[in-house]
Amino acid sequence: MIRIHWADAVAQKLSRRGNKHIIAAGITPSGEFHIGHLREILTGEMIHRACIRLGLDSEFVFVVDSADPLRKVYNFLDEEYEMYVGHQLACIPAPDKTGKPDSNGGSYSDFFLNPFLDALKNIGVEPRIIDNYNSYSKGNFSEAAKIACENVNKIKEIIETVSGRELSDDWFPYNPIDDSGSMDDLTVTNYEWPFIYWSDSKGNSGKNDIRKGEGKLPWRLDWPAKWSWIGVTCEPFGKDHGTSGGSYSTGRKFSEMFGHEPPFPLTYEWISLKGEGAMSSSSGVTIGPMDVLELVPSEILRYLIARSKPNKHLEFNTGDLLLNLADEYERVCQSVVDSKGVNLEELTKRQRVLKEEAIGSVIYSQITSDSEIDESYKVPFRHLSMLAQIRANDSDVFNALEKSGYIKSTKQNEKLKEKLSKIRCWIESEHFPNDLKININQSIDKNSLSDFDFKYEVYLLEILQKIEGIVDWNYENISFAITEPAKELDLSLKDIFQLLYTIFLGKKSGPKLARLLQELDKDLVCKLISEAAK
């Protein structure tokens, strides 16, 4: 069987290069990590899993670019950080709650990195962590740095030719660091292995030992140097790096200079916050992974990445788009379960492709690679969000689910308990959409029905009679009692549903009506209809 999920397709291409692979992802911890970063991490991790499924020897690594300098004072930092601009992120203090440097708070890079690593564990991602600052200190970049420093003219020519960018006469392929720890305002005056000699505009001068990681390579050289000493064979990267003349274009040439075959390229698109634009740690347009994981089941968050090819732009929010994503995940899970035992060869080519993509998306959405689909998907996210608002106790929610037939038993289903817990957090958060909020009326204000210009009293009396006569209080019987009189009286279903939502919720829309009424006390339902019909 040919696997055609995008991760499987990449793994098959990698298999043609050999059996052993190192899949990499890398991020600069300049600010709070966000779910946009998860696209790079999960794209790489899913390719790693696909390689394992294909029988390849694969490792997944996450490179933390902690040797990068602080570029500027970001809007979430206090102006006191001005003194640290140009200093490496691993060497400056973390911010406190007010954004001021906290000398007792550990390093800036760890402050932003550690919550992200915790989030990764929660979604089943545990890569080998490579800290760039430590790697420079250990001399891992020395060989590539030596090649770069001994081929200045060749490297300048490659950058200028490929990128179209003109470099200054004093440009040098290694950024030194002064005695205070800053990389800013320094000019390289001489190089003699293993030392870089520098001066600044104030007349200060000094030297750095490349072997000890004093300073670092510029990004266009740092990236391929990492590929070389780590042995990276594939690394997903954002579309900014993948443009013509971008850092991958130069990186592949430098990788060859360093004696390493350039990694298989895979460009990914951004994840945007709906209505806010692309997420960015430095701009503050973010939703943190830990924040999202408090609200969203891990499988659904993984599915956001697994369902779409990397080059497709994604939009996300923790409101309507989250709800739609959960709906889709549940449908796809059911489709995959239904397809077990089906001979895919009997399907049309298009049906087979869609089914294979669905199977792959669900497989790569699971927390562990050998996980079976948990049956908690059978309880719709939407329905559970409704139940969580009208049932204060979890036990009442679970009893309602068993009674309505969504699931046979909830007693041993930890995933379902986790799903309910996260939905309760979502409901209580600022992210819960107003149009999903439910407040059940206890009495009727007739003025609230003044918008309805059809003679609804006859209809209400008809459904009241049918509802009072229901013996088995279930979805099917309630649905029939609501819709059948409307058909007999030739009323618009849209009109009668808006009427009934107004009677029960005080607004013209809501969750599936018969599902909602099934969870309400029958006497209350009859009372409200009776009051509205008078």
How far, in Å, are 72, 85, 445, 480, 490 from residue 80 at the CA level?
A: 11, 10, 58, 67, 71
Sheet containing 234-238: order of strands: 128-131, 57-64, 20-27, 234-238, 264-268
Least confident of 57-61, 157-161, 413-417, 468-472: 413-417
Q: Is the pLDDT of residue 105 over 90?
A: yes
Which residues on adjacent β-strands are paired with residue 64? 27, 131
Mean per-residue pLDDT over the chain, rounded: 92
* Residues 23-28, mean pLDDT to the nearest whole number: 96
Q: How far apart are CA 213 and CA 111, in angstroms?
A: 22
Q: Is the pLDDT of residue 284 over 50?
A: no
**pLDDT value, residue 277:** 47
**pLDDT tens across 498-520, in order?**
999 999 999 999 999 999 999 99
Q: How confident is the model at residue 283 (pLDDT cuts 50, 70, 90)?
A: very low
DSSP state for residue 506 in the 8-state scheme: S
Is residue 178 a contact partner of residue 198, using CB atoms and an 8 Å limit?
yes
Whether this prediction's pTM lies above 0.75 is answered by yes
**pLDDT value, residue 292:** 83
Report cis status (omega within 30 of 0) of the bond before 433: no
**pLDDT value, residue 445:** 85
**pLDDT tens across 373-389, in order?**
988 999 999 999 999 99
How far, in Å, are 210, 236, 275, 316 from residue 239 at the CA level?
A: 31, 10, 21, 18
Burial class (CB in 10 A: 0-12, 13-18, 19+), 343: exposed
Q: How confident is the model at residue 343 (pLDDT cuts 50, 70, 90)?
A: confident
E strand or H helix at 499: helix 493-505
**pLDDT value, residue 246:** 95
DSSP 180-205: TSB-TTEEEEEEETTEEEEEETTS-E
Residues near 27 by beta carbon (within 8 Å), at least 6 away in sequence: 33, 37, 40, 41, 62, 63, 64, 65
DSSP state for residue 380 in the 8-state scheme: -
* Residues 76-85, mean pLDDT to the nearest whole number: 98
Q: How far apart are CA 398 and CA 516, in angstroms?
A: 15
Q: How confident is the model at residue 3 (pLDDT cuts 50, 70, 90)?
A: low
**pLDDT value, residue 287:** 64
Widest Cα–Cα separation across the chain: 96
Q: Position of tokens 């029960």?
A: 504
Burial class (CB in 10 A: 0-12, 13-18, 19+), 175: buried
Q: Is the pLDDT of residue 273 over 80?
A: no
CB burial readout 269-302, b (16+ within 10 A) else e:
bbbbbeeeeebebbeeebbbbebbbbbbbbbbbb
Q: How confident is the model at residue 286 (pLDDT cuts 50, 70, 90)?
A: low
Sheet containing 205-209: order of strands: 186-192, 195-200, 205-209
**pLDDT tens across 453-465, in order?**
878 999 999 999 9
**pLDDT value, residue 354:** 82
Is residue 84 a contact partner of residue 101, using CB atoms and an 8 Å limit?
yes
Q: How far apart are CA 177 and CA 174, in angstroms?
A: 10
> If we measure between CA atoms, which residue out of 531, 355, 361 comes closest to residue 457?
531
Q: How far apart are CA 361 and CA 181, in angstroms?
A: 46
Cα radius of gyration (the chain) = 30
